[in-house]
């Protein structure tokens, strides 16, 4: 494939290939060497139209560690502010011959649209409520390294599923790798069509966490609630915030995940988030760099093959 736009386009063997290569990059990143040359001679432009800490930093590091020339656009200071459209911005950058565009955008589908207009590889760094494929891949790598497999696991995805591209990409990936997904949250934050996604749905943490192998917590995405119902944080924490009492219903060796940014005392108790025996939140961040190195490396191989076939 030319682009990485969503998990929906990836077959199980493609997911496994990305994770296998990412495993090698974890070893490289832990070594004193830290650098490869898979992207040498290529230009990578990062365009983040929405705030980011983890995704933007890790894509930038991933590109630099593999030898790309990396430019991160300051979108707030770009001509978007003067009324230029997303497509015109993309066409402008495309005329400078980048090889890789990494794009985050608040609108679902915006990254797919942009990918149709440019001649380079496009990676979706999160589009609206739609997909966040590299997040699901880094979550999968974290789970596979901790649990030794991605199949026959029970994963509880808890909280604001309705506004979450992370949930959507994880549901697709885990289903494709033959794990069982339970969505847990208040009815207002679980989409009504969720039962058609091949997942279980429950509105009770005790039932949802019972005997699960992985507990994945989600942030309340108030910025996407469009003036709709916003639960009180206190009430929400009481019913759906992950604390020791609720976590006790999961398997004894269950791991706790959170994509970040996290709101301590809203969806998760800070003590659980910091418990190195249960929480793998920092490992997720580490896996993020390796997965993005692997994803860009594989797309660059395809791009080079496509160009040499056309030459």
Residues that bind ligand CP in the complex, under the rule CB under 6 A: 52-55, 126, 135, 259-261
Angle at the Cα of 184 (from 236 to 266), degrees rounded to 5?
Answer: 25
> Which residue's CB comes closest to ligand CP?
55
Are 98 and 120 spatial neighbours (Cβ–Cβ below 8 Å)? yes
Q: Which of 54/251 has CB closer to ligand CP?
A: 54
Q: With CA atoms as reference, report the closest residue to 99 among 39, 42, 36.
A: 42
117 is in an annotated binding site: no
82 is in an annotated binding site: yes
Q: Which of 176/219 has CB closer to ligand CP?
A: 219
Give the Cα separation of 61 and 67 in Å (integer).
10
> Least distance (Å) from ligand CP to the CB of residue 60?
11
CB count within 10 Å of CB 186 equals 17
Distances (CA, A) of 285 to 126, 136, 252, 289: 16, 12, 24, 7
Q: Which of 52/78 has CB closer to ligand CP?
A: 52
Q: Which of 291/303 has CB closer to ligand CP?
A: 291
239 is in an annotated binding site: no
307 is in an annotated binding site: no
186 is in an annotated binding site: no
Give the Cα separation of 208 and 152 in Å (integer).
16
Q: Which residues are annotated as a binding site?
A: 54-55, 82, 104, 132, 135, 165, 219, 260-261
Annotated binding site for L-aspartate: 82, 165, 219
- Residues at the annotated binding site for carbamoyl phosphate? 54-55, 104, 132, 135, 260-261
């Amino acid at each position: 494939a030319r682009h990485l736009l969503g998990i929906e386009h990836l077959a199980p063997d493609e997911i496994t290939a990305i994770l296998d290569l990412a495993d090698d990059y974890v070893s490289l990143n832990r070594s004193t060497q830290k650098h490869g040359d898979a992207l040498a001679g290529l230009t990578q432009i990062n365009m983040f139209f929405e705030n980011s800490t983890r995704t933007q930093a890790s894509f930038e590091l991933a590109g630099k560690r593999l030898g790309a020339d990396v430019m991160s656009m300051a979108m707030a200071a770009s001509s978007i502010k003067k009324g230029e459209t997303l497509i015109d911005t993309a066409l402008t950058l495309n005329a400078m011959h980048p090889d890789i565009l990494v794009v985050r955008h608040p609108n679902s589908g915006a990254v797919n649209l942009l990918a149709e207009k440019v001649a380079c590889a496009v990676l979706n760094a999160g589009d609206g409520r739609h997909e966040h494929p590299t997040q699901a891949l880094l979550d999968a790598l974290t789970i596979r390294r901790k649990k030794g497999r991605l199949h026959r696991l029970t994963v509880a995805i808890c909280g604001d599923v309705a506004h979450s591209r992370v949930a959507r990409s994880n549901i697709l990936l885990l289903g494709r790798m033959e794990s069982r997904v339970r969505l847990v949250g208040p009815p207002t934050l679980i989409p009504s069509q969720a039962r058609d996604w091949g997942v279980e749905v429950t509105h009770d943490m005790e039932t949802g966490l019972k005997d699960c192998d992985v507990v994945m917590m989600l942030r309340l995405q108030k910025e996407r609630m469009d003036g709709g119902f916003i639960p009180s944080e206190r009430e929400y924490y009481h019913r759906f915030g992950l604390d020791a009492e609720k976590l006790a219903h999961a398997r004894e060796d269950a791991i706790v995940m959170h994509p970040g940014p996290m709101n301590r005392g809203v969806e998760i108790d800070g003590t659980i988030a910091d418990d190195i025996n249960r929480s793998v939140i920092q490992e997720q961040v580490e896996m993020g760099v390796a997965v993005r190195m692997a994803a860009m490396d594989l797309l660059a191989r395809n791009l080079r093959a496509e160009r040499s076939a056309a030459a």
